[in-house]
Structure 1
Amino acid sequence: MSQEGGVPVKRRRENGPDEQPELRELIEKNISATQEIKTLVNNQEKNLLERIEKLEDQRENTEWLIREVVKIGAQINAENKKSLDKKFVLNETFCDILTMKEGDYRYGKFYEHFGQKWNLVVRRQDNYLGVFLNMNKLGNTEEGSAETFHSLELSVGHKFREAIKQEFKFDGSHMYGRLKFSTWDEMQRCWLVDGKLSVKAEVHIKKLSGAMKPKLIDFDASAKFSDYILEVGGEKFHVLKQLLAMRSPYFEALFYGNFTESTKDATELKNVDPTDFQNFLEVLYGEYKAIDDFTLEGIMLLNDVYDAKTVGERCQEFLMEKSQLSLCKKLKLVSKYGNEELKDKLISEIKTLEEYKSIVADGVEDFSHDVTKALLKKSLTLQ
């Protein structure tokens, strides 16, 4: 090693300073590559996040859709269940309460529901007000029985006091309620308005039976050509699947659709009165004599769900040609189960203003929008 002025001098690289640009270029390329990798990673991460967000959105939309479907399904089931329930409401205003003496009764007007007549009754006994729900036979039908759940209310305007909720079997004695609903003084002080007392009953019929009429068709184990059992209210009905499916979309879906019932040989139909179902099946099988004023409403109630065309047609024919039900009751049935043609024909039978007023007073709360609108038009022709 050479020395200059006694100080060793480092050996100069062969290329000297010419190597520096190559080093810088390499470093710059590495930095550039690193940035590209980072950019690529960032883009991939961004794309991944976007995909995750889309999946989350889809999941939220799917969950929302599922919730909506479940909600709609629950609503449909609730509506179907309600449509099979035999329910009605009675409202009565007693105008001469203050003239009642000890032991006196006052009877409200009778209303026809499910083949029987129903009304509200009040009584004064031991200075108490008694309130009762009463059932009477309709027309020429024999004595019937009914298992009901009902409530009785006294009301003042939009305020009411709910009285009792009872479950009774109307058999033998056909009047049930509470003998001591309130004291007579309390009734005058709290529930009497301008000398009038308003009473309301909400009735849910669990089971209704009329006279023990002979069955037109036996659907027991001896039934021929049966291949399925429908359990209704503790009773077994042996039926032919193909016949029911041919005449009712409901049973076609039940027996041959994508339901577990289609793989079984028996199933239960809930919330159905077995007496109504016996009558419905008889008509479905062609025994149209099963329809009368007592059975009509129950059959129409079931057919509103089961949608058997022939059953609906036979019920409508009976309603228009043979039924002895009041015109008001017929309009109520048409409001719920009928069609435009029946509505127009029934309303055309109203001939006097007095008859019109009576119908509107008795049924306005039970009429459909279309029937109410048609009645308003009818009133213009009776002025």
Structure 2
Amino acid sequence: MTKRNNKRPPPPKRQRIEAENNQNAENNTNDQHPLTLQKMYDTCQEVLEKQKNLEKIHENMLKEVLEKQKVFVDKLCSVENELQLIRDDLKPRIVKAAVPVKRDDEDETDSESDNESDTMPTTGKNFVLKHVFKNVSNMKEDEHRLSEAEEYYGVKWRMGVRRTKEHLEFYLHCPKLIDTANWTIEIQQKGVFISNRVENTVKKGKQIFNNKSPAWGWPGFIAWDVLEKNLLVDDQLTAEMHVKIKKTTGIYKDHLRSFDKTMEEFSDVVLVVNEEKFYVSKLYLAAHSPYFKVLFLGNFNDSKKSEIKLNGIDADDFQNYLELLYGEHPIDEFTVEGMLMVADMYDTPMVIRKCEQFLLKESKKKLKKKLELSTRYNLEALKKKCLAEIKSIGDLQAVLPGNVQDLDKSIMGELLEKSISLHN
């Protein structure tokens, strides 16, 4: 009997190959799985690291932007502060004197100082002369020293000192430069010797200058030994003369137009300046000046008055101001500064413009004076012309005040740029 073989026949070759391939694939899958997870983890870590780096970059960028913004804001605040200082400087104000002064009812010749303070208005015809007298201890008896002449309101002014045997005289000098014989200038003056060790030496008084008396002051302003002990610094004496022009005669031209009582029938208001009356038209002045428009047409107590007092100006200056408004031409070297002061005070563009044209085309005033007027009254065309005429270091030095701290803030930057360009 034939013995039965229970073994299965081997599968076909193709099936064997496929089975082997499937087994190998399964084995490969099992072998690669751990590696694939590791790669995924590494990739995630890499993404997280990049995200952290980006966040750090963004944080740094934000800090940088905030820092720049802070610097910018600080600069804006600084500019605003500077602008506010300039605006404050341009406002009329009452300034407390930095030195004590004598009362009018006290002896003005023998006293040398006083503990009482005083105030001085900056409106009206006020100016201050400043000068440093050098090598003072070498002055001989009866020797005179004069400061450089400076022009204010068409007149040149100087300070002078003279040594006597035991004192130093101090006086204000108004040299004769006016053709008319009968001119007068009534002033209030205050002389000051500056000290950094004791109280400033101060005296004040009222004087009238004319062609016969062109200088006034104090014969015994300070004892010579006191001067040497308390006031000289490096053998230099710092002096100031504060001047207020109260009244002038014979300096300006004859009136070109009347505003007195003869004009009463053509006027509807009387303006009083230093007790002098001007008969004018409200509507005519209001048309040229926002100040007068508010004064005459606004809802104020003065608006209904038939007579209004104006303070802080000179009657002659107001006369010239009105003449120009009414079509006359009173502008000359003597009148232009006073007219600018009045026109600026009462915001009258037409008068300011005509005064600027005179300074641009006709005036023979020094460059320093023109530049000073251009900054004080915001005369941009004149300022531009003055700056263009500064062509050398000598020109630049000529327009600077003795103390650079006295330079108008609004012109500092432009003069600095001019200085840099000249040095280059």
TM range (shorter): 0.7 to 0.9
AA at the equivalent of 1:155:
I
AA at the equivalent of 1:235:
E
- Other-structure match for 1:266: 307
CA distance in 2, matches of 1:192, 1:209: 39
Count of aligned residue pairs for this structure pair: 308
C-alpha displacement of 1:310: 1.0
C-alpha displacement of 1:303: 1.0
The verdict on how the C-alpha distance between 1:244 and 1:167 changes in structure 2, with shifts beyond 3 A counting, is same
SS at match of 2:192: strand
Contact 1:328–1:363 (CA under 8 A) maintained in structure 2:
no
The verdict on how the C-alpha distance between 1:189 and 1:146 changes in structure 2, with shifts beyond 3 A counting, is same
SS at match of 1:292: coil
Q: C-alpha offsets along residues 5-46 of structure 1, whole Å, 9 cap, x if unaligned?
A: xxxxxxxxxxxxxxxxxxxxxxxxxxxxxxxxxxxxxxxxxx
Match of 2:370 among 314, 327, 330: 330
Please, what TM-score do these two structures have when normalized by structure 1? 0.74
The verdict on how the C-alpha distance between 1:184 and 1:193 changes in structure 2, with shifts beyond 3 A counting, is same
The verdict on how the C-alpha distance between 1:331 and 1:121 changes in structure 2, with shifts beyond 3 A counting, is same
C-alpha displacement of 1:184: 1.9
- Answer yes or no: is 1:359 the counterpart of 2:402: no
AA at the equivalent of 2:305:
K
**1:249-288 mapped onto 2 (5 Å cutoff):** 249-288=290-329
Match of 1:181 among 185, 208, 221: 221
CA distance in 2, matches of 1:313, 1:190: 49
- Answer yes or no: is 1:135 the counterpart of 2:174: yes
Match of 1:161 among 192, 197, 200: 200
- Other-structure match for 2:348: 308
Q: Specify every segment of 5 or more residues in structure 1 that has no aligned partner in the other structure, as ranges.
A: 1-75
**1:1-383 mapped onto 2 (5 Å cutoff):** 78=93, 82=121, 84-137=123-176, 144-157=183-196, 160-171=199-210, 172-211=212-251, 213-223=253-263, 225-288=266-329, 290-362=330-402, 364-383=404-423
SS at match of 1:102: coil
Q: Specify every segment of 5 or more residues in structure 2 that has no aligned partner in the other structure, as ranges.
A: 1-90, 96-119
Contact 2:150–2:157 (CA under 8 A) maintained in structure 1:
yes
CA distance in 2, matches of 1:158, 1:85: 33
More strand by share: 1
CA distance in 2, matches of 1:354, 1:371: 18
Contact 2:370–2:382 (CA under 8 A) maintained in structure 1:
no
SS at match of 1:231: strand
The verdict on how the C-alpha distance between 1:125 and 1:143 changes in structure 2, with shifts beyond 3 A counting, is farther
The verdict on how the C-alpha distance between 1:141 and 1:319 changes in structure 2, with shifts beyond 3 A counting, is farther
C-alpha displacement of 1:359: 1.5
AA at the equivalent of 1:267:
I
The verdict on how the C-alpha distance between 1:160 and 1:89 changes in structure 2, with shifts beyond 3 A counting, is farther
C-alpha displacement of 1:147: 2.2
The verdict on how the C-alpha distance between 1:244 and 1:158 changes in structure 2, with shifts beyond 3 A counting, is farther
Q: C-alpha offsets along residues 181-228 of structure 1, whole Å, 9 cap, x if unaligned?
A: 122222222222222221111222222344362100011111262222
Bigger radius of gyration: 2
CA distance in 2, matches of 1:277, 1:146: 17
CA distance in 1, matches of 2:197, 2:322: 43
C-alpha displacement of 1:267: 1.3
The verdict on how the C-alpha distance between 1:168 and 1:372 changes in structure 2, with shifts beyond 3 A counting, is same
CA distance in 2, matches of 1:258, 1:368: 37
SS at match of 1:381: helix
Contact 1:90–1:202 (CA under 8 A) maintained in structure 2:
yes
Q: C-alpha offsets along residues 248-267 of structure 1, whole Å, 9 cap, x if unaligned?
A: 11111111111222222211
CA distance in 2, matches of 1:77, 1:359: 25
CA distance in 1, matches of 2:361, 2:196: 41
SS at match of 2:259: coil
